Amino acid sequence: MTRKKVLILCTGNSCRSIMAEALINHYLKDSWQAYSAGTNPSSVNPRAIQALQELGIDTGYLQSKGITEFLYMDDLDLVITVCDHAKQNCPLFPKAVKQIHISIEDPVLYTNAPDEEALASFRACRDDIKARVVDKL
Q: Which sequence positions are flagged as catalytic?
A: 10, 83, 90
3-state secondary structure of 34: strand
Q: Which H or E run contains 80?
A: strand 78-81
- Using CA atoms, how far apart are residues 58 and 111, in angstroms rounded to an integer? 23
The candidate with the shortest Cα–Cα distance to 100, out of 80, 86, 83, is: 80
The single-letter code of the amino acid at 89 is N
The enclosing H or E element of 129 equals: helix 115-132
Distance CA 127, CA 7 (A): 19
- Evaluated on CA atoms 59, 109, 80, 75, the torsion sign reads negative
